[in-house]
Every structure is written in structure tokens, then in C-alpha cells.
């Protein structure tokens, strides 16, 4: 189905028309000598160009891809940051100027949310730096919706508040378009169309017309604050490309690039066509395999915070690590006479570090550093302010079966809501860093939770909480952080049995009414934690206890003194007791 909500006849006709359009465009390209690769033809690699009669020398179009910056505009420990990225880009642009090629700089989303330097201006510092770097386009990621209306409130506080106000403001400031071909406005059944926000764009690089399509992961709306995405939905990625790419080709695009806030994961980079180290079920890999051969020339991915430098179904895909620590690169060799892509070269993600690149010394771009200076200064004092407690050990997210840092946060949530029976927090995704040993600063706490989530409370039946716990035990990945109750999973006659115990050991009955403390992100559908127990009209929020990060800071300050990781995990009364590794399997 192309767009949820269209009438069935509309769906059939829309998809039919788009597939016919794709075939006509490909046929016309073949007729004029621009035929795309046949599925049976070997994929062009970095050392084996596609067979072609073209006699003229090719030139290189270098695609530099960034993704999941999450406000990481500054270097850390001498590595990363946008000024250093600017140094690399200068080197590449100089190289392409010498050989007659060009560089295209594109981003695959989640640009803003994550650091004080970015969050204090709701991402304006990132846009200013991207303007100076000369980005061609950026995809909208799920966390671009996190800031909500313009101003300090992360969600609409009145009917006049625009839940996408901050995002629209950033788009209006950008000298490059924000792209979102598959974010659909339910009121129009069309892609969102705000000032400087569009499905795709076309730019000219070294005389070649390059169409760029922007996409976001199919799970985008469950990975941000639900109240900021009301009235939106996500269309299938592959079908969106199949509709948009032929339109761009028909309008004169010679090359098609997709920048998508959707990705995958690989661990080995010796051979870009060897996918044995990759997650074969990764979202962007699935999309690449669904596309007609030759429709897309390159993909810049994101969202999964993991590296890719490979070719899937003949399409080179790049993805870098998160936080501004690296960038992706794809080189397309293009025949200047026919404008055809003759070969594709995939690179492993390049770490942003001092040294040399392409035989040139890397020098951080002072212009970019100057653009960022006001944001850095605004955040300096707040980052350094003391929380009022000293950590005698690092407090980490990782832990089996429970996370020490997850326990810390949920203990604070529980204390913030008088009478709460249990507190939940998403350890995976909700906590972005470990806490370092030493006197705790607000900046370090902010890095753990950069999101402006609020603590809310509502009631659920004991049976509902048991259902949530059972779902957690049956899944892979980090267990949800929990405080106030203990979960004991046992096997009985080959089936898992879940019991909930209060701190004194009293079992929770299915009929008990429990007061839940958690973030508004989770309460409104984020990560699907409460999806199975949420009524059609949503959960009834009864209390608001304030910003989650500030709740934790106040709890730690009140505690004072020192705190170690060992104090947060009681081995004699684990909050999660499972009969074996996740997912629990009883035999």
C-alpha cells in the first residue's frame, strides 16, 4: 500500500501509474544510450567499472554523507566536530576542483537533538554551521520533531501552539532544503509542504543534474513525542522512491540520490559487496532490494547509529556513526558526455580525526568554528554547573539483567510522584551516555538525557503492568528501567509465568490499580512500551511532575554525598529475575 488512508482504487491506480512512469523513464534512457544496469549484469565496484562504449574520461561526483549528528557540533578528545568536518570537505572540494568533479554534502537526519550547544537554540546553531559548510539537502529525522513549538515548551501548551513550530523555524533558516517525501499530512494525503520543506530537490554539480529524495524510517512517529506529530503518517519507503525518482528523471535529473533517516549495520569493510558482516534485515537494505534496477544511484542512510560502506543490489549505501564522529563517502564516476554513472565506489566511514586525508593536512575550518562560537559560549556556564553529588564510580547503561543507570533514573521518577507504585524509563534509546566518575556536572547529566521529556503519571491495572513485563522478557535488547516493583519470570509446564512483587514481597494482583510514573514520550506511545495496554483515546494523564532531566538532578542533589554503581543494583533483590537469557524461552 502506498499511502495509508487512500481509497483502495486510488491506491491501485496511483501505484500502477507510478510503476508505468518508472518503466517509461527507464525505457527512454535505454533508447538514448542511458540504459541502467540489467539485474544479471555484475555490479560495478571500486575496481571494475560498468561496461560502456564511452570514450571520454569520467569525472568524480563525491557524495559526503552525515547522519545522526544529534547536536554534536564540537570535537571531543581531539576528534569529531563540524569544524574538523569542514577541513575534510575543503580537501575533497579542492581535489574535485582539480579533476573537474564536484562534492555534494547531504545529511540523513537527526541533526539537532542531543547537546546543550544545539538544544538551547532548538537546533539553530546546527543550521548555521550547515549553511556555512554548504549542504545541498538534509532529510528530516524523527528527533527533528522533539522541540515542538518555538520556545521552552517541548509540546503544545495551547491551541495556538504549532507542534512543529521549532522544526519549521529551522527549515526557514536553512539555505538548503529539508526533505521528507514519505512524511504524509493526513489532511491532504500528500507529503508535508512547509516553507523550505519538500519531498525532493534537484541541484547541479559539475554540469550534472542530481535529484535528491528525502525519507524517514517507517518507525519515526513512535520515536519522538507523539503530540508533536499528530496528523502525520509515514508512507512506505520503497514505494515513495518509486514514485519520486521517475518524476525527477522526467524533469531532467541525470543522477538520483536518496538521503534517508533509515539505515542498517555492518562490521567489516574490506569488500563493499561482501554483506556477510551486515544485518541482512536492516531497513535500508530491504528498501534497496525492492527498487527497480538503476532507479537510484546512491543512498545516504542514518538512524541506526552504525557504519555502512557497502553496495546492496548495485546501490552504494553509506552511513556514519552518530554524534559528528565520522562521515560517509560515495564516489560516482560519471561520463560527461552521456551523464551516465559508469562506476560506483563505496568507502568505509571516515573517522573525523587530525592528520592527513587525500595527501593533504587536515586543518579545522576556522569559519565554522566562528559560526559555532556563540552557541558554545551560551552553553558553557550551564554545562559546568555542579549537580551536588560525587560519583565514586562510573554509572553505566549496560547491565544484565538490569541497568544501573536505568535504576537511577527510575528511582528519581518514582520519588518525584508521591504515591507512585512503579516507574519506567526506556534504557535503550532513552539514555544516551554513561555518567562519568567524579563530581557530577549538569553537562554530563544532559548528555545522558538530552530530551526535554516530562515526568507524567497515570493509572494501570496490575494485569496491564504484568502484560508489559511479559513483553519485555520475551524481547531482545535492554530491559526497560524499573523502580517500585520486582518482576520474577519462571517457567511452568514449558510456559513463562510472570509475577509482580511489591518491595515487601507482596504479590501484585491483576485487579490492583497501580500509579505509573514515566516520561511523556513513553506515555504517548514512544517505543511502544504501553501500546498493548493503551485505550483508543490514549492514557489519561493525571499528573505532571516536571522535566525528567531536572527531576533527576533534583533527586541527586537532595541525596548529596557520594554514589557508586554498586549501590544501584541489589543482587539479593534484582528488579528483573529471569530463568535465562532474553528472550525467555521455556522448554
CA–CA distance, 184 with 181 (Å, rounded to integer): 8
- pLDDT at residue number 46: 42
- State the pLDDT at residue 377: 96
Q: What secondary structure letter does DSSP report for 3?
A: S
Residue 468 reports pLDDT greater than 60:
yes
Residue 519 burial by CB count (10 A; 0-12/13-18/19+): exposed, middle or buried?
A: buried
DSSP-derived letter for residue 435 is: B
What mean pLDDT comes out for the span 495-510?
95
* Distance separating alpha carbons of residues 259 and 298, to the nearest angstrom: 9
**Mean pLDDT value across residues 61-88:** 96
Angle CA(104)–CA(108)–CA(112) in degrees, nearest 5?
115
Torsion of CA 46, 265, 108, 476, to 10 degrees: 170
Write out the three cell numbers for 358. 587525500
Mean pLDDT lowest among 148-157, 248-257, 404-413: 148-157
pLDDT at 48 over 60: no
Q: Say what percent of the chain tops pLDDT 70.
A: 90
Please state, in angstroms and rounded to a whole number, the distance separating the CA atoms of residues 541 and 363: 52
How many angstroms separate the CA atoms of 331 and 328, rounded? 10
CA distance 585 to 201: 49
pLDDT at 11 over 60: no
pLDDT at 28: 43
Q: What angle do CA 357, 363, 367 make, to 5 degrees?
A: 130
Which residues 6+ apart lie within 8 Å of 201 measured at CB?
Answer: 136, 137, 177, 179, 211, 212
pLDDT digits (tens, 9 = 90+) for 165-191: 999 999 999 999 999 999 999 999 999
Region of poorest pLDDT, from 16-25, 501-510, 517-526: 16-25
Position 361 scores a pLDDT of: 98
For 464-487, give one letter per residue: b (16+ CB within 10 A) or e.
bbbbbbbbbbeeeebbbbbbbbbb
| CB neighbour list of residue 286: distance below 8 Å, 6 or more residues apart | 238
**Given the DSSP bridges, would you call strands 356-357 and 208-216 parallel, antiparallel or unpaired?**
unpaired
Q: What does the pLDDT look like over 95-144, one tens digit per residue?
A: 999 999 999 999 999 999 999 999 999 999 999 999 999 999 999 999 99
The SS3 assignment for 409 reads helix
- What pLDDT sits at residue 35? 34
- In this structure, what DSSP letter does residue 584 have? P
Pick from 142, 139, 218, 241: nearest CA to 180: 139
Question: Please, are residues 244 and 202 in contact by the beta-carbon 8 Å criterion?
Answer: no
Question: First vs last Cα of the chain: how many Å apart?
Answer: 39
Phi, psi of 156 (to 5 degrees): -60, 135
The answer to which of 322-326, 415-419, 522-526 has the lowest mean pLDDT is: 522-526
What is the distance, to the nearest Å, from the Cα of residue 115 to the centroid of all Cα atoms in its chain? 15
6-10, 132-136, 192-196: least confident range? 6-10
Share the mean pLDDT of the chain: 90
Kindly state the helix (H) or strand (E) to which residue 339 belongs, with its residue range: none
pLDDT digits (tens, 9 = 90+) for 258-271: 999 999 999 999 99
Sheet holding 495-501, edge to edge: 495-501, 486-492, 576-577
Amino acid at each position: 500500500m502506498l499511502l495509508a488512508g487512500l481509497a483502495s482504487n486510488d491506491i491501485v491506480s496511483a501505484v500502477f501509474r507510478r510503476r508505468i512512469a518508472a518503466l517509461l523513464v527507464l525505457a527512454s534512457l535505454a533508447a538514448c544510450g542511458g540504459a541502467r544496469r540489467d539485474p544479471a549484469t555484475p555490479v560495478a565496484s571500486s575496481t571494475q567499472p560498468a561496461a560502456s562504449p564511452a570514450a571520454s574520461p569520467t569525472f568524480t561526483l563525491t557524495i559526503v554523507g552525515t547522519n545522526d549528528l544529534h547536536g554534536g557540533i564540537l570535537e571531543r578528545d581531539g576528534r569529531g566536530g563540524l569544524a574538523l568536518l569542514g577541513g575534510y570537505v575543503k580537501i575533497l572540494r579542492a581535489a574535485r576542483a582539480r579533476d573537474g568533479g564536484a562534492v555534494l554534502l547531504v545529511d540523513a537526519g537527526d541533526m539537532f537533538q542531543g547537546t546543550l550547544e544545539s538544544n538551547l537554540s532548538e537546533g539553530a546553531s546546527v543550521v548555521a554551521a550547515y549553511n556555512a559548510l554548504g549542504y545541498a539537502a538534509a532529510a528530516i529525522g524523527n528527533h527533528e520533531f522533539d522541540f515542538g513549538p518555538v520556545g521552552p515548551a517541548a509540546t503544545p501548551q495551547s491551541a495556538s501552539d504549532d507542534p512543529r513550530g521549532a522544526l519549521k523555524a529551522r527549515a526557514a533558516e536553512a539555505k538548503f532544503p529539508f526533505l521528507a517525501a514519505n512524511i504524509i499530512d493526513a489532511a491532504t494525503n500528500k507529503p508535508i509542504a512547509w516553507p523550505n520543506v519538500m519531498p525532493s530537490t534537484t541541484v547541479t554539480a559539475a554540469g550534472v543534474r542530481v535529484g535528491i529524495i528525502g525519507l524517514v524510517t517507517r518507525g519515526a512517529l513512535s520515536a519522538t513525542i507523539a503530540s508533536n506529530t499528530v496528523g502525520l503518517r509515514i508512507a512506505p519507503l520503497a514505494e515513495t522512491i518509486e514514485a519520486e525518482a521517475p518524476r525527477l528523471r522526467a524533469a531532467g535529473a541525470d543522477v538520483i540520490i536518496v538521503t534517508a533517516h533509515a539505515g542498517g549495520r555492518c562490521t567489516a569493510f574490506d569488500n563493499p559487496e561482501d554483506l556477510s558482516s551486515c544485518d541482512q534485515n536492516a531497513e535500508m537494505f530491504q528498501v534497496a532490494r525492492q527498487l527497480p534496477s538503476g532507479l537510484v544511484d546512491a543512498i545516504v542512510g542514518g538512524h541506526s547509529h552504525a557504519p555502512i560502506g557497502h553496495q546492496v543490489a548495485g546501490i552504494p549505501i553509506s552511513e556514519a556513526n552518530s554524534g559528528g564522529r565520522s562521515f560517509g563517502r560515495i564516489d560516482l564516476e560519471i561520463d560527461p558526455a552521456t551523464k551516465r554513472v559508469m562506476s560506483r565506489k563505496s568507502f568505509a566511514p571516515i573517522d573525523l580525526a587530525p592528520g592527513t586525508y587525500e595527501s593533504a593536512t587536515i586543518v579545522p575550518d576556522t569559519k565554522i568554528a566562528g559560526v559555532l562560537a556563540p552557541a558554545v559560549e551560551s552553553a558553557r556556564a550551564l554545562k559546568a554547573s555542579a549537580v551536588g553529588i560525587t560519583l565514586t564510580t562510573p554509572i553505566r547503561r549496560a547491565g544484565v539483567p538490569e541497568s544501573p543507570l536505568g535504576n537511577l533514573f527510575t528511582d528519581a521518577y518514582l520519588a518525584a510522584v508521591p504515591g507512585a507504585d512503579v516507574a519506567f524509563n526506556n534504557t535503550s534509546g532513552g539514555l544516551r551516555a554513561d555518567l562519568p566518575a567524579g563530581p557530577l556536572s549538569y553537562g554530563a547529566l544532559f548528555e545522558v538525557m538530552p530530551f526535554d521529556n516530562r515526568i507524567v503519571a497515570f493509572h494501570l491495572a496490575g494485569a496491564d503492568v504484568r502484560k508489559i513485563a511479559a513483553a519485555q522478557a520475551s524481547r531482545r535488547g535492554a530491559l526497560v528501567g524499573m523502580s517500585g516493583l520486582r518482576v520474577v519470570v519462571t517457567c511452568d509446564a514449558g510456559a513463562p509465568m510472570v509475577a509482580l512483587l511489591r518491595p515487601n514481597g507482596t504479590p501484585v494482583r491483576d485487579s490492583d490499580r497501580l500509579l505509573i510514573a514515566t516520561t511523556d514520550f513513553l506515555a504517548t506511545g514512544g517505543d511502544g512500551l504501553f501500546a498493548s495496554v493503551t485505550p483508543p483515546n490514549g492514557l489519561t494523564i493525571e499528573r505532571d511532575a516536571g522535566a525528567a532531566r531536572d527531576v533527576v538532578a533534583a533527586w541527586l542533589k537532595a541525596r548529596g554525598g557520594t554514589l557508586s554503581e554498586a549501590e544501584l543494583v541489589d543482587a539479593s533483590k534484582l528488579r528483573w529475575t529471569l530463568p535465562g537469557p532474553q528472550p525467555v524461552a521455556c522448554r
